[in-house]
Amino acid sequence: MRKIYLLAAAAALLAAPAFATDNTITIGFTDSQTGKLNVDSQGQSRGYDFWRDEVNAKGGIDVGGKKYKIQFVNYDDQSVGGRVQQLYTRLINHDKAQFLFGPYSSGMTAPATVVTEEYKKIMLDSGGAEEKPFQQGNKYLYMVITSAGHYLSGAVDALKAKDPHAKVAIVYSDDPFSKAVATAAIPQAKAAGLDVVMEASYAPSTTDFGPIVNKIISSGADAFLGGGHYADGATLARQLHEQKARMKFMAILVAPSDNKFAELGEGALGVTFPSQWEPQVSYKPDFGPSSAEFVKAFEAKYHQVPDYHAASGYADGLILQHAIEQAKSLDTDKVAAALNATDATIFFGHIKFAVDAGNHGLQAAHSMVLGQWQKENGKLVKQVVWPEAAASAKMLYPIPATMN
Amino acid sequence: MLGFLASVIDGVLVGFVYGLAAMGLTLIWGVMDVVNLTHGVMIVCGMFALYALINTLGIPPYVALLPVLVGGFIVGAGLYWLAIHRVVGRPALMSLLSTFSVNLVLVGLGTAVLGTGLFNVDVSIPGFSLGRYTFPGAHIVAAIMAALIAYALYLFLGHTKIGKAVRAVANNREAAELVGVPTTRVLAFTVGTGVAIAAVAGMLIATLFPFTVLSGDDYTLKSFVVTVLGGFGNPLGALFAGVALGVLEGAITPFVPVSWTLVIEFALFVVVLIAFPGGLFAPRRGAL
């Protein structure tokens, strides 16, 4: 009940327009406090908040010798794409946001970019991986994460390394993000020499995957790539296990990166998932905290291990901060120029933005890792298994048939 | 061929559960012309009740049936007094709005308290295999239980005094009142029963698939299709229509691209509606 009062109080506070003062920088964004995207979006927002609190605790961002504190203005977009444009317009015109962070998911980011670009405001995107908005000549839009087209590249490489002739079924949810991921993965798998024996999309409202799993079994596939979001991805994993589809390799989007995926028990064992970041990664940062420092500080504050949404949200802030400090100015074009020139490694990985007109702002350097659910002392834990250089454990391959 | 058969059997098993879920909706619809838009959220309540009972009391999954049934009935009766009593007999839009509001409040509360993350109840019962195709035990048990509960409801409506009162109110509320049937209590009882069935269906679904706070929407949609196919207000028809829908899903999938399943399903739905405007199993007057 207290939570609800707090929410109400927070909503009331947020409803009041924010007035930028001389020594604050106002950053606006929408997040999905309610609706189907709430889990991931709240993770991302926690990353934003964590970055803001750390910066403010150190006195703020240094802009040419003067310190500026960070102030956020954010609204609940209710996980509804139609709300986003209205709210970003409000953030820019009414709340006078100087910079913007993206909402969560591709479906919400695309409509927001129309508004931010029209008003020539910089938006850092850490929640929408779809490439399309970046291929329309936008100049003030920057993607900090790996784009959808490369989501399953690591899974394809990892599978190829284990079995160059694996028979793959690629089955994905018919939503913009999953579709973008899978349609890119299909030619990648074929180019890698894998035998793609089944390609199919399913309606996001699918509840029973029994017949689909039977079809996968009929196709003779021994590896599975695909999925979509939470309920569907988890159901697929559970039914592939229960119906003894005996996949040697499974890479499923989104659902397995949630810690609660372990509730699937044996059904979770061996399932791999592409991840923008995992706590175990060990990049050497040029600035900002190391991965271990980030995890430790985050855990101390929120009493939970940060997921990649929190990490990517924090990365958004860190990259913007770096660009402002480099530009020594809050002027949009100067900061945009600094973002264009960014080529640095942070705890989240290597960040560099494409600057050619056809892909401007797309992430050009960051790469994903492949996580896998493995057993350690009888408990299911997440390990990083690919790329091998960043791995925290060896990949479990094939997934033991007795278990599957 | 074996794959086709396997998918059809899977469809039958899941279809019984779809059918049971829809029975809760169609019962309320048939008796008082109220479309209960809290249906999905009540299914979700059943799912979470099972999750909570297993994780706090550690009871075996199917023992949860009784508490879920009783709890569902109490919640349903409460729902009647809160949101339905004042709108029975008023234009349909009124009951749609009032139950939709309750639905929004409950989904909002659920999201605020539980988030929209994943929940799973691990039920492992050995199933049986047909060549390379396997039917999980939980699916078989859920189908049998759904069929038994449906049959019990059928017997209850047909052979008990309260059941007869429910049917009398469904047929003609004023006439029932004239012969001394306490119609308001009967209506509250009906909503209680309808919601209890939805909750039990939710509980059974939770033994089959992982779920989230928002899973209700998908099952509401399915329940509507099943209710319409089965004939408005015909509980047994709903059960058959549920199985028909499951079989259809199972039978189509092996032959067409997976993404076409829904298109074909709804195309057939329209055809059925044109050919049989009252549904495939349209009730005779007073069949309830």
Mind listing the pLDDT tens digit for each residue in A318-368? 999 999 999 999 999 999 999 999 999 999 999 999 999 899 999 999 989
Q: How confident is the model at residue A222 (pLDDT cuts 50, 70, 90)?
A: very high
Pick from A38, A207, A211: CB nearest B209: A207
Average pLDDT value for residue range A55-66: 94
User: Does residue B286 fall inside a structural domain?
Assistant: no
Pick from B116, B205, B217: CB nearest A38: B116
Give the minimum alpha-carbon distance from A311 to chain B in angstroms, rounded to a whole number. Answer: 18
Model's pTM, two decimal places? 0.84
For residue B13, which residues of chain A lie inside 8 Å, CB to CB?
210
Using the Cβ of B118 and the Cβ atoms of chain A, whether some distance falls under 8 Å is answered with: yes
The separation between the first and the last C-alpha atoms of chain A, rounded to the nearest angstrom, is 42
Q: Distance between CA B218 and CA A257 in Å, rounded?
A: 23
Residues 77-116 of B with CB under 8 A from A: 108-109, 111-113, 115-116
Report domain extents, chain A.
Answer: 2-146+280-352, 150-275+369-390
Which domain, by its residues, includes B267? Answer: 2-103+134-275
Parallel/antiparallel/unpaired status of strands A349-352 and B128-130 = unpaired
Using the Cβ of A337 and the Cβ atoms of chain B, whether some distance falls under 8 Å is answered with: no
Using the Cβ of A234 and the Cβ atoms of chain B, whether some distance falls under 8 Å is answered with: yes
Provide the pLDDT for residue A403: 45
pLDDT at B287 over 70: no
For residue A218, which residues of chain B lie inside 8 Å, CB to CB?
3, 254
Q: How confident is the model at residue A18 (pLDDT cuts 50, 70, 90)?
A: very low
User: Does residue B207 fall inside a structural domain?
Assistant: yes
pLDDT at A72 over 70: yes
Using the Cβ of A10 and the Cβ atoms of chain B, whether some distance falls under 8 Å is answered with: no
> Is the CB of B210 less than 8 angstroms away from the CB of A38?
no
Provide the pLDDT for residue A404: 42
User: Does residue B41 fall inside a structural domain?
Assistant: yes
Provide the pLDDT for residue B234: 82
Mind listing the pLDDT tens digit for each residue in A356-393? 989 999 999 998 999 999 999 989 999 999 888 778 89
| % of chain B residues with pLDDT over 90 | 64
The residues with which A196 forms a beta bridge, in sequence order, are: A168
> Is the CB of A211 less than 8 angstroms away from the CB of B250?
yes
Q: How confident is the model at residue B264 (pLDDT cuts 50, 70, 90)?
A: confident
Using the Cβ of B55 and the Cβ atoms of chain A, whether some distance falls under 8 Å is answered with: no
Mind listing the pLDDT tens digit for each residue in B65-110? 999 999 999 999 999 999 999 998 888 899 999 999 999 999 999 9
For residue B217, which residues of chain A lie inside 8 Å, CB to CB?
205
User: Does residue B281 fall inside a structural domain?
Assistant: no
> Is the CB of B3 less than 8 angstroms away from the CB of A215?
yes
Mind listing the pLDDT tens digit for each residue in A142-163? 999 999 999 999 999 999 999 9
Report whether CATH 3.40.190.10 matches the domain A150-275+369-390: no
Rounded to two decimals, the ipTM of the complex is 0.89
pLDDT at B225 over 60: yes
Give the minimum alpha-carbon distance from A6 to chain B in angstroms, rounded to a whole number. Answer: 11
**Residue A343: phi, psi to the nearest 5?**
-150, 85
Q: Distance between CA A346 and CA A266 in Å, rounded?
A: 35
CATH architecture type of domain A2-146+280-352? 3-Layer(aba) Sandwich (3.40)
Provide the pLDDT for residue B83: 93
Structural domain count, chain B: 1
Provide the pLDDT for residue A5: 57
Mind listing the pLDDT tens digit for each residue in A172-186? 999 888 998 999 999
Neighbour-count burial of A398, counting CB atoms closer than 10 A to its CB (0-12 exposed, 13-18 middle, 19+ buried): middle
Provide the pLDDT for residue A21: 58
Provide the pLDDT for residue B276: 85
The amino acid present at B157, given as its one-letter code, is: L
